[in-house]
Amino acid sequence: MEEMKQMPLIGDKAPEFQAQTTKGPINFPSDYKGKWVVLFSHPADYTPVCTTEFVAFAKRNDQFKELNTELIGLSIDQVFSHIKWEEWIKEKLGVEIPFPIIADNTGKIGAMFGMLHSVVSGTQTVRAVFVIDPESVVRAILYYPMNVGRNMDEIVRLVKALQVADKEKVALPAGWPNNEIIGDKAIVPPPNSVQTAGERLESAKRGEVECYDWWFCYRKL
């Protein structure tokens, strides 16, 4: 009986694969060791929503680079289709696509990452986003439907938030750094015992953290 493969979940190692892209062959994730990666799929080349998304990603490529993050696109198209589409975008819209696009014409990689949703379309990848850290661990997964484009500023924010949370050992609130309650401050992990709960309130009295209660404390970054 053939073993069923499950798509990677948050906290799993990203699947390994080799692929042809518009920038040449890649060996994933070893070629991206030490970098963050945003691996994203789109339904098809030469489609309006996908075109707007690629322009948006391209215009934010420098922001991702500043975060030590590489973009990789993917769809079930031949590499020559990707190349001609890139040329069309550059000629008609004046935007050059600086990142590689995987030619997953067999659908193998899309299936490996759970990008093919048969209820929607068995032959096109949905708008999936996988944020993968320098240790090749999947840290976040986003899915969008065929008829709604993604918000690339949110993806930039998500990568930055993951990096800050890792570095500072904190959690970050909704909409960070523009949260309605605590602004750009970070949430201190809640205590896990009666003793540490009391210590947290004492820390608040000393001005080391701010608290609404022992379980909801925050601090400046």
Whole-Å CA distances, 51 to 32, 54, 183? 26, 5, 34
**Active-site amino acid positions:** 50
SS3 content of the chain, % helix, strand, coil (to 5): 30, 25, 45
Burial degree of 1 (CB within 10 A; 0-12, 13-18, 19+):
exposed
> What tokens does 44 get?
């098809």
Coil vs helix vs strand at 129: strand
Give the residue from 144, 150, 188 showing the smallest Cα distance to 51: 150
